[in-house]
A and B are shown apart, each in its own frame.
Chain A
Amino acid sequence: MKSSVIIFPGSNCDRDMDVALNKFGFKNKMVWHDDTDLPKSDLIVLPGGFSYGDYLRCGSIAGKSKIIKSVIEFAKSGGLVIGICNGFQILTETGLLSGVLQQNKYLEFICKNVFVKINNKENKYFKNIKKEILELHIAHNEGNYFCSNDELKSIQDNNQIAVTYCNQDGVTNDESNPNGAIQNIAGIFNKEKNILGMMPHPERMIDKYLSGEDGSFFFENLVGNLK
């Protein structure tokens, strides 16, 4: 199983993602944003961080970088692409995922563990996963998912909501919404479900002694589904 993590200037979760992918059985390669060709991959990851210093809008400059053309081609041909945090912002800026990540409702940078509920298991990412509710880490200033009412309806009709913020018991409400995202959306798919963008960081939850193991469930399951 081969994966590639794209590094933009300002990415800072690229190495954590590399460690996670290798730990669970991927052969991962790091790819520089200024390259034009992707190595042969089963999975492309756009990591978290502050690509291009968040200039203009989060993810907007990365969304026009050289490597992105190949990522878009790969995604449009059905390849699996995950964007975590800033990677999610980049995916919305490229138009591969709909909507936009706005500044958090209360203008705070949020850095804490949250619970998310898996909304749709009919895809390569979550099929067969052992848990319905995952405890993952978030760290962002712009995670407040927003889209027009028409887009929201289309996302719901096509079952594109991947994960939603909830409490420990899986209840989705305003109290469990850390950033003001509409419908507590923490992550979405494209229509075909091969592209996943989400704000929480599974790569930060892969060690039971340091953090938690719910990210491990995500990666183990993904590798299992790709075999």
Chain B
Amino acid sequence: MKIKVIVTLKNGVLDPQGKAIQQTLNGMNFSNINEVRQGKYFDIEVNEKDEAKAKPQVEEMCKKLLANLVIEDFKII
């Protein structure tokens, strides 16, 4: 089964890329954009049919490798 993971910077952590994207969008006349936060997206194909087994495994992957918990949060969807 396929499990999707989104990794984003924690609130309060400076995201200069997101800021640059936001300013560019503002410059392109998308004037109502207040903030952009950039993140990462992973599609993980797990050889497992039971979601209840696959998700905890992916959670461990997130904690150990996919996200750096000092500055990032993850969401399994």
Contact = CB atoms under 8 A, between A and B. Distances in A.
B20 to A, nearest CB: 6
Interface in B14-31: 14, 16-17, 20
Interface in A63-91: 64
Nearest to A151: B70
Interface residues of B, number: 11
Contacts of A105: 14, 16
A210 interface: no
B68 A57 contact: yes
Interface in B30-77: 64-66, 68, 70-71
Given A107-B20, A147-B70, A102 B14 contact: yes
A60 B71 contact: no
User: Which secondary structure dominates chain A's binding surface?
Assistant: loop
B65 A100 contact: no
Contacts of A151: 70
A98 to B, nearest CB: 8
Contacts of A100: 68, 70-71
B71 A103 contact: no
Interface size class of A (residues with CB under 8 A): 20 to 34
Contacts of A107: 16-17, 20
Contact of A99 (B16, B17, B20, B70): B70
A32 B43 CA distance: 31
Nearest to A63: B65
A52 interface: no
Given A99-B70, A100-B70, A64 B65 contact: yes
A180 B14 contact: yes
A147 B69 CA distance: 11
B16 A106 contact: yes
A93 interface: yes
A24 interface: no
Interface in A100-148: 100, 102-107, 144, 146-148
A93 B16 contact: no
A147 B61 CA distance: 22
A209 to B, nearest CB: 38
A226 interface: no
6 closest A-B pairs by CB: A100-B70, A107-B16, A100-B71, A100-B68, A57-B68, A103-B16
Interface of B: 13-14, 16-17, 20, 64-66, 68, 70-71
Given A106-B16, A107-B17, A146-B14, 17 more contacts: A56-B65, A60-B68, A64-B64, A93-B68, A98-B70, A99-B70, A100-B70, A102-B13, A103-B16, A103-B17, A104-B16, A105-B14, A107-B20, A146-B13, A146-B70, A146-B71, A147-B70
